[in-house]
Amino acid sequence: MQLSPLPAPDDDAQAPADRWSPERQLAQMLDLCEAQMESALAESDGAVDQLIKTFEGLAETMRGARSVAAKLPHESRPDADFANQLESMAEQMASAVVAFQFYDKLTQRLGHVRYSLSTLALFVCDRLQSSEPNQWRKLFTSLKRLYRTEEERRLFQLMLDGVSADDAKAQIQQSAESRTASAGEIELF
């Protein structure tokens, strides 16, 4: 969305009435939030890519060590402590694989937030739409369709039901353990 530049406080009195409106300023702030989010995500993507490459390098080294140890003659095999350490490393690698996936989930959820902010920015600029309660309901419905995870849906519904943001966040966090338990849930048909 292309908006007029935000006037400096001193310029308020001179700002042309047709270019400035509270709706446009709100839209500009929403666009700013979206842009900040996009910029931060782009920065993080590079860092996470590097982290994953490093992780893969470490994992390859560990697999190599395990393979070398397995090929050694029986009398030269490393002791049980070494084997236990390799096993412990393998478990930590598996935990890291799970942890990395939460970054993907974060990216997905923030993508939905970014879309919501952009949609809202356009919506508030249209006074005809934004003054109609029915249009707001339609907006909520369309944004709700974006949500894929249980956490997104629950948070959205709690807020829509009138629960305060703080209470909704607390409720979501309280059930964090059960949500983590449902992750990795497998159903064969």
Partner 1 sequence: MSGVPAQSILAVDDSASMRQMVRFTLEGAGYKVVQAADGNEALELARTQAVDLVLTDVNMPGMDGITLVRELRTLPAYKFTPMLVLTTESGAETKQRGKQAGATGWIVKPFNPDQLLATIARVL
Provide φ and ψ at 184, rounded to 5°.
Answer: 85, 5
Q: Is 188 in the site for partner 1 (CB under 8 A)?
A: yes
Query: 2-9 contacts: CB < 8 A, separation 24 or more?
Result: 3/27, 3/28, 3/31
Take residue 8 and report the two structure tokens written for it.
């400096």
Q: Is 72 in the site for partner 1 (CB under 8 A)?
A: no
Selected from 11, 49, 126, 167, the binder of partner 1 by CB under 8 A is 49
Selected from 118, 130, 149, 175, the binder of partner 1 by CB under 8 A is 149
Q: Is 175 in the site for partner 1 (CB under 8 A)?
A: no
For 98, the enclosing helix (H) or strand (E) is: helix 80-125
CB of 132 to partner 1, least distance (A): 29
Q: Is 150 in the site for partner 1 (CB under 8 A)?
A: yes
**Residue holding tokens 């629960």?**
163
Q: Is 106 in the site for partner 1 (CB under 8 A)?
A: no
Q: Is 44 in the site for partner 1 (CB under 8 A)?
A: no
Q: Which amino acid is at 76?
A: S
Provide φ and ψ at 79, rounded to 5°.
Answer: -75, 175
Q: Is 177 in the site for partner 1 (CB under 8 A)?
A: no
Take residue 17 and report the two structure tokens written for it.
């009435």
What CA–CA distance (Å, rounded) separates 125 from 129? Answer: 9
Neighbours of 84 (CB within 10 A): 10
| Window of 5-13, 19-27, 117-125, 176-184 that interacts with partner 1 by CB under 8 A | 176-184
Q: Is 43 in the site for partner 1 (CB under 8 A)?
A: no
CB of 136 to partner 1, least distance (A): 24
Interface residues with partner 1 (CB under 8 A) are 48-49, 52, 56, 59, 63, 94, 97-98, 100-105, 107-108, 148-150, 153, 182-189
